Amino acid sequence: MSKLLDHFLVRATVAAVDHVTPRMRRIRLTGPTNLSWTPGQHVRVHVGDLRLRSYSIWAHRAGALDLCVLDHPGDGPGARWARDVRPGQPVSFTRPQGRLVPREAPYHLLVGDETAGVAFGAILRALPPAVPTFTLIEVDDPSDRLDLPGEVHWVPRPGLLAGLSTLDLPAEPGVAYVAGEARACQAVRRHLVTDRGWPRTAVVVKPFWTPGRRGLD
């Protein structure tokens, strides 16, 4: 089974590891030159045995890509890999994938927690400058704020839904990108569809984690 898995994985080397916030590590991988990536997509990193863990891509250029991984106190295989990885270490991962990518819209709404900031940063940098954006991110601490383009509304946890309910948006729907904790994502989608009258097709949801869920560690 592991040989079959290796057949589908891209091989790279860790070139650098640094911090973009006190709890967010940037892991630069070099080697692959033929990757196709759309901003907002993620890769699934082989972290041991047959385990794969998903990490959003912060930036990509020929021969290199940057992952930004939030450190958390868990002891799962993904948390251990991200905490212990060092320059020079070989890494295998799947090709970029995922539906959380920019779409055409009169404006863009990005809502999530600190785990969504990496994908949101890539999306925001790819959007046309003339198209309005509204970004709302929930964090535990102000030090968790990433450097993101445009105006970002930062709210302390738990304040995501309350912050969204008071956010002044245009009357017509745009496209919403919702990511982070699974139950919070469901609540945001329900608010947009039920309270604001958005069509469900205008809300793109990507749950990144949920308490106690194996595989999201």
Question: Is 101 part of a structural domain of the chain?
Answer: no
Buried/exposed code over 82-99 (b: 16+ C-beta within 10 A; e: otherwise)? beebeeeeebbbbebebe
120 with 183, same domain: the answer is yes
Q: Is the pLDDT of residue 215 over 60?
A: no
CA atoms within 13 A on the CB side of 22: 6
135 with 56, same domain: the answer is no
Predicted pLDDT of residue 138: 98
Question: Is 55 part of a structural domain of the chain?
Answer: yes
In tens, the pLDDT along 98-151 reads 999 999 999 999 999 999 999 999 999 999 999 999 999 999 999 999 999 999
**Among 7-16, 22-31, 181-190, which is the least confidently predicted range?**
7-16
User: How long a stretch of residues is the chain?
Assistant: 217
Over residues 25-30, the mean pLDDT reads 97
32 with 69, same domain: the answer is yes
**How many independent structural domains does the chain possess?**
2
Question: Is 102 part of a structural domain of the chain?
Answer: no
Q: Which domain holds residue 177?
A: 108-209
205 with 167, same domain: the answer is yes
In tens, the pLDDT along 51-61 reads 899 999 999 99
114 with 191, same domain: the answer is yes
pLDDT confidence bin for 73, thresholds 50/70/90: confident
Q: How far apart are CA 203 and CA 174, in angstroms?
A: 9
83 with 122, same domain: the answer is no
Final residue in a domain of this structure, among 59, 93, 127: 93
CATH number, position 160 = 3.40.50.80
| Average pLDDT along the chain | 93
149 with 188, same domain: the answer is yes
CATH number, position 74 = 2.40.30.10
Q: Would you say 22 and 146 are in contact if contact means Cβ atoms under 8 Å apart?
A: no
Final residue in a domain of this structure, among 42, 69, 93: 93
Question: Is 140 part of a structural domain of the chain?
Answer: yes
In tens, the pLDDT along 197-206 reads 999 999 999 9
pTM for the structure as a whole? 0.94
Q: Six-digit token pair at 78?
A: 């993904």
In tens, the pLDDT along 156-191 reads 999 999 999 999 999 999 999 999 999 999 999 999
204 with 118, same domain: the answer is yes
65 with 114, same domain: the answer is no
Q: Which residue's entry shows tokens 């041991």?
A: 48
173 with 112, same domain: the answer is yes
